[in-house]
Chain A
Amino acid sequence: MSEILVLVEQVDGEVKKVTLELLTLARSLGTPAAVWAGPGITPDAKAKLAEYGAEKIYVAPSSDIVEYVVAPKAELLAQLVAGKSPSAVLVAATPEGKEIAGRLAIKTDSGVITDAVGLGEGFVADQSIFGGGINVQSKVRKGTPIVAVRPNSTAPAPAAGAGTEEEISVALSDAAKAARVVERVKQEKGARPELTEAAIVVSGGRGVGSAENFSIIENLADALGAAVGASRAATDAGWYPHQFQVGQTGKTVSPQLYIAAGISGAIQHRAGMQTAKTIVAINKDPEAPIFELADYGVVGDLHQVVPQLTEEVKKRK
């Protein structure tokens, strides 16, 4: 079977979960080859990639790759597409992953599919569009299929690959070095998992009532090892930072479990969470549209229900 390139997402040398998901997915369609773009690969990272099925690990250690925005990664992948003739390229459907996919598509004269939630035979991708209202199957019809796959689309499963390392040197064009990263500013985010990657997300909305009360949401999230999200009503009110907004103009999440507390479930919010596998809603208003989506709903005041749930979760752990 031919190679499928998987662009590795990593933080400080640690492979992110979405990459393990993509390797798992790639195994079902071909032979996974991981692509490490930039310096900083560690023995642990290599072991992890091999553990999840990477037969090859292409390492391009040039620091130039991470010092300029997006374009160098697209050039690296284009070079690998030309040299290795893979049957497809998979990237994570993060904002940056999609940008890399877009530039790569132009460089390789290939089609690109974004926000796939599944990928099957013939690289036919499943997508959920218009706020989850329509399910679409689409495929690339020119060049090498380039698919940006949403985090949490596949459960990562180990199955060892050889993990043979091959160093790649890439000569970047001047055009790829046009936008230079001059400073990286890391903002404190604590120990919680990243919103788009988290298996469980607990979100609060208008019903939370104040910035202080968001601690109710955070406590439940921490008891579950979950990420915290917020509806637009809550972020617009200034109760929770904007980068945690789940919805059409914010983040799109697709977790195993989504708990919505004090969120009515307007289309703007549903567009960002409708593909969650299991949805639990807590809301005072029995008519709230969020209950139409909920696998389990509690009609009640979140200020009572959520702390009780948090205590019970802690007890059972």
Chain B
Amino acid sequence: MNIVVCVKQVPDTATERKLRSDDKTLDRDAADGVVNELDEYAVEEALKLKEAHGGEVTVLTMGPGRATETIRKALAMGADKAVHLSDDALHGSDALSTSYAMAQVLKKIGFDLVILGSESTDARTGVLAAMLAERLGAPQLTLANKVEIEGTSITIQRLTDYGFDKVAASLPAVVSVVEKINEPRYPSFKGIMAAKKKPVETLAIGDASIDAAQVGLAAAWSEVVDFAAAPPRAAGTIVKDEGDGGDKAAEFLASKKFI
């Protein structure tokens, strides 16, 4: 089985994240880059499926040169090879452009299964997996907390408000996974060493038949008009519990008409 796992490098949540004042895109230099946390679950799921059914796991990322750090992490966890879509023309791409560019690469490299994290911790749109399914004409098996494959049949548990839906489809398919579907493994020392020798193919947009007019900031279907740091919340009233803390809190709730 040919499994492609999509990963994204995101700014570390623990550092201060900023937008650039010039073009209002993410300031990638302001924060440390890390693997998007939910993508680690996607990598783990890909590796488990490979272990159970055989095949190969390819890491796919779109991002600037430094995103190779994220590729190495996924390779160190056990993925076999990687494709890095990297081109200055992609800077500022929105979700529509990103899904288009990644779909073009996926069509070029082929797949039985595409796995992603259900959202990224930076943009948090949560739309990419659905968009890839739309663009590839493949079944959308998203928000999965369980994935089962038998031959060419695939079944997932899709998280819903009321519990979950069991959803069935045939491969090839697009899967997104939620937190806690598994426990992502830590790369072993051996894995880290081996990752250095694994093949990483770098593609520019021309290599994947990506139309420059459909990507980048100029092509974006939506735009940031303005942004500003959120005004600090007005300082609240903090009291020390002297045995009446609950009553005082109730007093506050009553003053705000919550009770």
Chain B 1-37, CB-CB to A under 8 Å as 1, else 0, gives: 0000000000001101111000000000000000001
B213 interfacial contact with A, CB 8 Å: no
A301 to B155, CA, bound (A): 46
Confirm or deny: B188 has a beta carbon within 8 angstroms of a beta carbon on chain A: no
Main secondary structure of the interface of B (DSSP, over half): mixed
Bound together, the chains give a CA A249 to CA B254 distance in angstroms of: 33
Contact mask A72-109 → B, CB, 8 Å, 1/0?
A: 00100000000000000000001110111111011101
Q: A308 on the interface (CB 8 Å rule)?
A: yes
A267 and B14 form a contact (CB under 8 A): yes
CA distance A225 to B6 in the complex (A): 41
> Given the complex, which residues of B lie within 8 Å of A311, measured CB to CB?
246
Distance of A184 Cα from B94 Cα, bound (Å): 34
A296 touches B179 (CB 8 A): no
Nearest CB to that of B19 among chain A residues?
A: A134
Asked if A306 is at the interface of the complex by the 8 Å CB criterion, the answer is: yes
Asked whether A305 and B249 contact (CB < 8 A) given A103-B130, A112-B95, A297-B239, the answer is: yes
Question: Using Cβ atoms and an 8 Å threshold, which residues of chain A touch B228?
Answer: 134-135
Cross-chain contact B225 with A137 (CB below 8 angstroms): yes
- Judging by beta carbons under 8 Å apart, are A296 and B252 in contact? yes
Of the candidates A69, A105, A257, A316, which one forms a contact with B221 in the assembled complex, judged by CB atoms under 8 Å apart? Answer: A105
Interface residues on B, range: 35 or more
CB of B190 within 8 A of chain A? no
Complex CA distance for A183 and B155, rounded to whole angstroms: 11
Complex contact B118–A185 (CB within 8 A): no
Within 8 Å CB of B244, what residues of A?
Answer: 308
CB-defined contacts of A143 to chain B, threshold 8 Å: 221
B55 part of interface (Cβ distance < 8 Å): no
Cβ of B51 under 8 Å from chain A: no
Interface residues of A in 277-311 (CB under 8 A from B): 278-280, 282, 286, 291-301, 304-311
Asked whether B149 is an interface residue with its Cβ less than 8 Å from the other chain, the reply is no
Partner of B121, one of A134, A141, A248: A248
Which one of A105, A134, A186 lies within 8 Å of B230 (CB-CB)?
A134
Binding-face segment, B74-82, B107-115, B157-165, B200-208: B157-165
Q: How far is the CA of A105 from the CA of B98 in the complex (A)?
A: 13
Residues of chain B within 8 A of A179, CB atoms compared: 133, 139-141, 167-169, 173
Does B140 lie within 8 Å of A297, measured CB to CB? no
Least distance between A102 CB and chain B CB atoms (Å): 3
Report the separation of the CA atoms of residues A305 and B170 in the bound assembly, to the nearest whole angstrom: 54
Q: A134 contacts which chain B residues (CB < 8 A)?
A: 17-19, 227-230
Q: Are A94 and B258 in contact (CB under 8 A)?
A: no
Determine if A178 and B240 form an interchain contact, defined as CB atoms under 8 angstroms apart.
Answer: no
Chain A interface bracket (under 10, 10 to 19, 20 to 34, 35 or more) = 35 or more
Report A-chain residues with C-beta under 8 Å of the C-beta of B227.
134-137
A130-B227 Cα distance, complex, nearest whole Å: 12
B122-166, CB < 8 A from A? 122-131, 133-135, 137-143, 155, 157-166
> Is A131 interfacial (CB 8 A cutoff)?
yes
Residue A64, interface by CB 8 Å: no
Known A179-B140, A194-B161; judge A141-B223 contact (CB<8 A): yes
Please measure, in the bound complex, the distance between the C-alpha atom of A136 and the C-alpha atom of B55, giving whole angstroms. Answer: 44
Shortest distance between the CB of A62 and any CB in chain B (Å): 18
In contact, A136 and B131 (Cβ under 8 angstroms): no
Q: Which A173-210 residues sit within 8 Å CB-CB of chain B?
A: 175, 178-187, 189, 194, 200
Closest to B247 in A: A312
Q: Which residues of B contact A112 (CB under 8 A)?
A: 95-96, 125, 127, 221-222
Say if the beta carbon of A246 comes within 8 Å of chain B.
no
- Whether the Cβ atoms of B95 and A133 lie closer than 8 Å is no
B residues in contact with A184, CB < 8 Å? 160, 162-163, 165-166
Q: Are B241 and A140 in contact (CB under 8 A)?
A: no
Q: Is B224 an interface residue (CB 8 A)?
A: yes
Which residues of A are at the interface with B, using a C-beta cutoff of 8 A?
Answer: 11, 69-71, 74, 94-96, 98-103, 105-107, 109-115, 124, 128-143, 175, 178-187, 189, 194, 200, 224, 242-243, 245, 248-250, 252, 256-257, 267-268, 271, 278-280, 282, 286, 291-301, 304-313, 316-317
Given contacts A71-B133, A105-B127, 12 further A-B contacts (CB under 8 A): A74-B134, A106-B99, A130-B122, A131-B13, A180-B168, A181-B166, A200-B258, A224-B259, A243-B159, A279-B236, A282-B249, A298-B246
- 11 CB-based A-B contacts, threshold 8 Å: A69-B142, A69-B158, A70-B140, A98-B126, A112-B125, A130-B17, A130-B122, A132-B230, A134-B18, A271-B121, A297-B239
